[in-house]
Structure 1
Amino acid sequence: MNKRIIILLLLAGAAFTQASAQVWQKVNWETFMSRNDLLFDSLSTNWDEGAFLGNGLLGVMVYREDANTLRFDLGRTDVVDHVEGINASIGRGRLPIGRFLMEVDGKIKTINLRLNLLKAELSGTITTDKGSVHFNALVAATKDLIVLNTRSEGAEKPINWRWKPEQAISPFLTLKRDSADKYTANPPYSLVKENDIHFNHQPLAAGGGYTTAWKEDTAGKTKSLLITIANAYPVDNTRETAKQLLNATPFKSVPELIKAHQEHWRNFYQKSFISIPDGRLESFWWIQQYKMASATRVGAYPIDLMGPWYKTSPWPKYWWNLNIQLTYYPFFSSNHTELVEPLMKMINDHIDNLSKNAPQPYQHNSAALGRSGPYTMTSGIKVLKGNDSTGNSAASMELGNLSWLLHVYYQAYEHTMDKRIIRNLYPVLTRAVNYYLNIMDKESDGKYHLPYTYSPEYPKGITRDANYDLSLFRWGLNTLLHINKTLGLKDPLVAKWQDAVANLTSYPEDKLGYRIGRDADFLISHRHYSHLLQVYPIYEVNWDQKQNRELIKRSLSQWENNSASWRGYSYTGSGSIYAMMGNGNKTHELLNQMMKGKFSIKPNTMYLEAGPVIETPLSAVTTMNEMLLQSWNGIIRVFPAIPESWKDATFNDLSAKGAFLVSGSRRNGITEFIKVKSLAGSACLIKTGFDGQVKAIGKRQFKVTPQANGVVKVDLKAGEEVILYTGIKLLNFSSDAVNTDVKNYWGLK
């Protein structure tokens, strides 16, 4: 190689290394994250106005019990009943545990608390007419332990923690939504003390049980409380499990426990980064990142509707017809695909149950999933070929739920390109698609049609050829064909899949846009966007297809103009469709509308509809990410839906399909640079938004090939990264917070 070329390449590599390092160089994490912390200068008696802590399995919600008492509600995701043979809402629902009460001696005058996101710790001071109490609390990231520390000053007495257990009763019974005569009451809990450890043991009539255990350290000025919750089924060994953990954690080891906890959280946050001019939304995004990792972790359980923060609710389990799907989409673009592992494991572990959910004639080769149910995924449906739906409930007709859940599963592959994922996905997706193949029927028009199914949760939504099912059936067929080719499987079903794709009926539509299905038009207000899945999140019908733009706009307008029944995720779903259209102003408007109104985001960023429903605030993260980065139709789109008011924006290491980590910086309405790292070496097509020739800098000379419609192709190999820019000189490749609004928007003030 020419000596001059070698020198130029070395200089380029050095410049690239410096430029790449600058991306993180200017972020002061303590300062930046502190402005996103939740602040509380008061506490109410409302769960949705409290401070929440969690480690992916255990959760604590802190709010007020009464005028002079704080309550620390305990939760654990897998504390459920195990009664079979009755409604799973009762038999397999979440169960309450109890709470610790922090009673002060004097009358509370002021409360000042901070939920420190970077440390995942709640700390502050309670001032009374007798003195003050300083406290801090956390749920350890590396052990299933809750740490509570208090220190009293003045005439305030040392805190005497009081445990208030709750009986293991189904929330459906507590809310009087079902009859107790169906339900075998659980035995009462028992309270005992062994040496320095207190135990609250709750056995369950159906087997298994759970134990809350704690010990106190009263030496010195600071009083410490260590708590754990053990759960097991069918053998109840929870008291011994809890004892072993507490005995293995002497109080002198707590500083090391906290150090490991803080290191865990710092590493978590640094996997991705965003900063936008809207301070309230920016803080909201970071709090949801904290919430995601507080609600699940590798080796634990998927997130149900409340996460580990228990509250009596009519939704004490998993909902499969939208909620869990929306809960998990933001994990991918936020670059936290590892947190989706519990969801994939749940599916892999319960293929037999999924098969039994199908009607008996189809169980040999099919799988299905009803509207809601427990972790074991037992939730049957009743869709049969030629079925007219007579006598069937709407919930028993929701055929598409499993396929939609598997669409979430498939995103884990698209964002990592790890073939192990699709090897595990393939058997269950084959069974989900087989169900459709078993019931489809070729009619006189020569097209395959589907019998009566239900489009969630549209009134009068039982219809033939439901768009909900057609979109998921078609996605499943195309995905199986792609997996089969990628893995070289030569499945004998390929010809049948190809025939079904080629001859499946088109999506029912009319002058108003997409119908619910062949027999159901869209005239009634509807919170779900189940009839629009082919547009979003599947993108089979998309904005790149100019012939479909008018249909997309008509369908979206008809849904939006009938918004009386809209709930929080209606705003995020429509916002995502507008983001696909490149209309960032409208997306931003819809996100702000979601924050207010009858069903608004609460001061602690939780969301309730009669009970906690965690998917809505998390789905807003997906929509926000899609304003900054989209990847569909094989193309990465950078800053595709930025509102006109956002002159500056920056993000680092958001994840795009094809296993790319993408960063970008925008100043004064102009994109300065884009950084792309390939994790798998797949084809890299990018719509940069740059005006002029796109240039590249990296450790080697990269070829940038212009494509149609502002797209460029970059020849990245696995592990390589490149910075793209335009103009006559290299820009300052640095990325930092873009807004100077340091107000802490969230918390209770």
Structure 2
Amino acid sequence: MSMCIQTHIDWPAFLSRHDMLWQTKPISWDEGVFIGNGLLGAMIYSEEHRDQRHVLRFVLGRTDVTASREGGAKAFPVRVPIGEIALEMEGWIYQPCEIRLDLWNAEMRAVIPTTKGEVRLRALIHALYPVLAIELDSDEGEQRAEMRWYSYPEVDPILKNADGINLNQYIPEITVERTEEEGTGIGVQSYGKGEGCTTAWKVHNYGRVKEGSGECENDVRYHRLCLLTVVNGISNEDREIARHELENVPQEDLTSWIAEHRRWWHDYYPASFISIPDTQLESFYWIQMYKLASATRKDLLPIDNQGPWMTSTPWPGLWFNMNVQMSYSPVYTANRLELGQSLISSLRQHQEQLIRNVDESFRSDSAGLGRSSSYDLNSPVEDEVGNLTWIMHNCWRQYRYSMDETLLRDFVYPLLRRSICLYMHLLEEGTDGRLHLPPTVSPEYGSFKQLKTPDAHYDLSLLRWGCETLLYAAKRMGIEDPLQARWADILARLTPLPVDQTGYKIGRDLSLEFGHRHFSHLLAVFPLHITGNSEEERQLAIRSLRHWIAKEGDLRGFSFTGAASIAAAMGLGDEALAYLRSLMHLIKPNTMYKEAGPVIETPLAGAEAIHDMLLQSWGNIIRVFPAVPETWQEAVFHNLRAEGGFLVSAASKAGQTVFIRIQSLAGEPCRLLTDLAYSEQGFVIEVQGKRAQYILHEDRSIEIVLKSGDEAVLYISDGEEPRVIAPVPAEPGMQHFFGSRKPWRLYGFPK
């Protein structure tokens, strides 16, 4: 950090203002407390049915537990619910509860009164080991409170169906075997074909303990510790693995074990920082950063539609026509590239399957992905051709934000090349001399009818982006690819994106005439950013955006995240904020999102939209505060990452940028757009603490020469504002907005 810039961030205090808080018990998945470590997860909530009001549920999920189905590739192995561990109390849960999800320490703490007494809880899933730990103590009235494990078939029907009956979800026939070995319970759930999972749990009852110095009954507590793990598999070896996981926990004193968990999270959060004067959106953002690291890790499976928090769903797998791409969208600017590695690793591991997904006649040079699959990526391409190419855009971002040349050469370039070769097999020359694509599906438009259109915007934009990117990459790597001339010819002769008076069309013979929840017909604008540079293109993009959103019939949460990012790309900060505020009405109280089932990508993409308002980097230009709404008169961010391997920090006051700090990690060309270029006082650039030369281009972008490791600071000439990275003050009454339902806080009720 430059001597010119100071950071004043008290991380525990800052994140504590965004802790999720419940003063009444959560009673559904939509408002539950969620904890996880990228593999094992638990959603914690209760129930209002009178027969189950004494239960606090820890509904378990493990991302790699799947069951096979009959029916070929379309019937891929699906995620399976694995049961829960329940805290069963003597009395009904009463009011007021005090439940907090502590973001900084990634743990749940609670004080739960019942009609018979009180129970205090702490629960976490360890950051490094697949172990759930639940510590509880109770008073005399709840001395018989117990932790009990239930396999999925054993869960009471009232609880099993509390979040909706699994009408569309495949649940295999499950046989359950229970044993106890040296005080450790073992539960094996078998699905047939050798598939299933093994759960091990152990409850340590420390008995009656006096607290405080008094002698009265109220000082007596009953302490217990429950440890639980889930292993994918049902063999004797899997049982031993599960037992071993529990034995590795120092059960007499968890201090060092929990300290290790906390260290991981305390190292994770400060990778970057943002603070904005909208406390609800700021809270939402930081809960998404917590959610990301709870949902995946660099060496684990990619994020599917619901992460490790299983509930009833018709989508128990990976969907590639939007969901996976949007789930990973925030990791790049947030400077959390290690989480993006789980997607890269999965694609690397299954490259041969990606080749088998295309027609046999194309396999010598092509690869692809259909709409959905399990973690094996077995998903033959049918009428959605571009899904792998869009996934490769994520991988390209992983490269461009890291500038890892080995990643480009060994993985991104060859797999992107294969995805574009699939398009090349489909191209046809028309009577107009242009190259055209046959009828394909534009994802989600008329989805039940499977409407097809030639020259779909979705495919044309991905093909154009892919050819441009391959040519750029080949030149950068200094290689002569025999396909370079073909890619250049495609760019020269590919038919233009179809347009009518309303804006971008779905395809050549298909206009947007009814509600369309997806932005697949706007991919050229976002996230590909291959159009919108000229004023004419910008107006076309804005017209397309507003025509799309005005068709209200089929809008979903992810429609508004896409709309917010598109508006931000066009510099429309107020409009981007309006879309995000609309999204907040669709987000669940715990920031999850659900339609017929959970779809985790929507809130995560909402975090990316916030990035897009603060920092964008595309077209080899870094844009600082490109779409800040009028109401955000103050904003700050630190160590957000930009294409080219730059870490960027900036602060604004009274609606004007005060300073920018940019550090080069790779020595790439540095060119940025900022309102500092329009300052009447002029601006100063220092590199390594010394005044530096720069080039001011015609578009008012500023070009600075930076070597790898260099740091530049830009600020207004004679500016007296201290250059400090510190949180924006929180809005009164808006802290702890998420958790239980608190919509009235939005309307200024006195608190």
Determine whether 1:425 maps to 2:407.
no
Q: Which amino acid aligns with 1:616?
A: T
Q: Aligned ranges for residues 159-238 of structure 1 at < 5 Å?
A: 159-167=145-153, 175-177=166-168, 185-219=172-206, 221=209, 222-232=223-233, 237-238=237-238
The unaligned stretches of length 5 or more in structure 2 are: 210-222, 742-751
2:516 aligned residue? 526
The answer as to 2:547 corresponding to 1:558 is yes
Q: Are 2:79 and 1:78 equivalent residues in the alignment?
A: no
Q: 1: CA distance between counterparts of 2:570 and 2:414? A: 35
Work out whether residues 315 and 611 of structure 1, in 8 Å CA contact, stay in contact via their aligned partners in 2.
yes
Code of the aligned partner of 2:500: D
Residue number in structure 1 paired with 2:570? 581
TM-score by length of structure 1 reads 0.91
What is the alpha-carbon distance in structure 1 between the residues aligned to residue 44 and residue 183 of structure 2? 25
**How many residues matched?**
706
Within 5 Å, give how 1:55-454 maps onto structure 2. 55-65=37-47, 66-83=52-69, 85-86=71-72, 88-89=74-75, 91-110=76-95, 111-167=97-153, 175-177=166-168, 185-219=172-206, 221=209, 222-232=223-233, 237-252=237-252, 254-381=254-381, 396-423=382-409, 424-454=411-441
**One-letter identity of the residue aligned with 1:101:** A
**How far apart are the structure 1 equivalents of 2:105 and 2:70?**
41
Q: 1:37 aligns with which of 19, 32, 47?
A: 19
1:236 deviation in Å? 7.0
2:698 to 708, 712, 724: 708
Over aligned residue pairs, what C-alpha RMSD do you find? 2.0
Task: State how 1:650-665 maps to structure 2 within 5 Å.
Answer: 650-665=636-651
Q: 2:326 touches 2:604 (CA, 8 Å); kept in 1? A: yes
Q: Are the structure 2 counterparts of residues 174 and 568 from structure 1 closer, same or farther at C-alpha, using a change threshold of 3 Å? A: closer
Whether 2:612 is the aligned partner of 1:622: answer no
Q: Secondary structure at the match of 1:18?
A: coil
Contact 1:230 1:238 in 2 (8 A): yes
Structure 1: 5+ residue stretches without partners: 1-15, 382-395
Q: Which amino acid aligns with 2:175?
A: P
> Given the alignment of the two structures, is residue 538 of structure 1 paired with residue 543 of structure 2, yes or no?
no
How far residue 47 of structure 1 moved from its aligned partner, in angstroms, is 0.7
Does structure 1 residue 492 correspond to structure 2 residue 482? yes
SS at match of 1:303: coil
- Partner SS for 2:305: coil
Match of 1:643 among 629, 643, 646: 629
SS of match in other structure, 1:290 = helix
Task: Give deviations 1:559-598, integer Å, cap 9, x for gaps.
Answer: 12112211011111111111111111111111111111xx
The answer (yes or no) to whether the contact 1:682–1:717 under 8 Å persists in 2 is: yes
Look up the equivalent residue of 1:175 and give its one-letter code.
Answer: N
Q: CA deviation at 1:217?
A: 1.5
Aligned partner of 1:548 in structure 2 is 537
CA apart distance, 1:498: 1.5
Cα offsets for 1:238-260 (capped at 9, x unmatched):
21111122122230352111101
Residues 372 and 236 of structure 1: CA distance in aligned 2, closer, same or farther (over 3 Å): farther
Q: Which residue identity is paired with 1:590?
A: Y
Taking structure 1 as reference, are residues 684 and 158 closer, same or farther at Cα in structure 2, changes over 3 Å only?
farther
Pairwise CA distance, 1:700: 4.6
Counterpart of 2:740 (choices 710, 730, 748) is 748
1 CA distance for matches of 2:433 and 2:154? 56
Query: Which residue in 1 is equivalent to 2:4?
Result: 19
Secondary structure of the corresponding residue to residue 566 of structure 2:
helix
CA distance 1:83–1:364, shift in 2 (3 Å): farther
Provide the C-alpha distance between the structure 2 equivalents of 1:519 and 1:444, rounded to a whole number of angstroms: 16
Correspondence for 1:594 among 577, 583, 596: 583
Q: Call closer, same or farther: CA 1:236–1:484 in 2, change over 3 Å.
A: farther
Q: Which amino acid aligns with 2:419?
A: A
Mapped to 1, the partners of 2:320 and 2:576 lie a distance apart of 26
Distance 1:740 1:342 in 2: 34
In 2, the alpha carbon distance for the partners of 1:620 and 1:313 equals 22
Tell me, in whole angstroms, the C-alpha distance in 2 between the residues paired with 1:589 and 1:622. Answer: 15
Change (3 A) 1:143 1:654: same
- 1:92 maps to a residue whose letter is P
- State whether structure 2 residue 469 is matched by structure 1 residue 479: yes
Q: Deviations over 1:489-532 (max 9, x none)?
A: 21111121111121111111111111111121111110001011
Separation in 1 of the partners of 2:580 and 2:165? Answer: 34
Q: For residues 418 and 591 of structure 2, what CA distance do their matches in structure 1 show? A: 38
Q: Does 1:697 align with 2:686?
A: yes
Among 555, 558, 562, the alignment partner of 1:569 is 558
Deviations 1:262-306 (A, max 9, x none): 111111110111111111000000000000000001211111001
Question: Quick one: percent identity of the two aligned structures?
Answer: 39
- Cα shift readout 1:115-137 (whole Å, capped 9, x = no counterpart): 00000010010112332111100
State how far apart, in whole Å, the 2-side matches of 1:37 and 1:486 are: 45
Is residue 499 of structure 2 the alignment partner of residue 509 of structure 1? yes
- 1:62 partner SS: strand
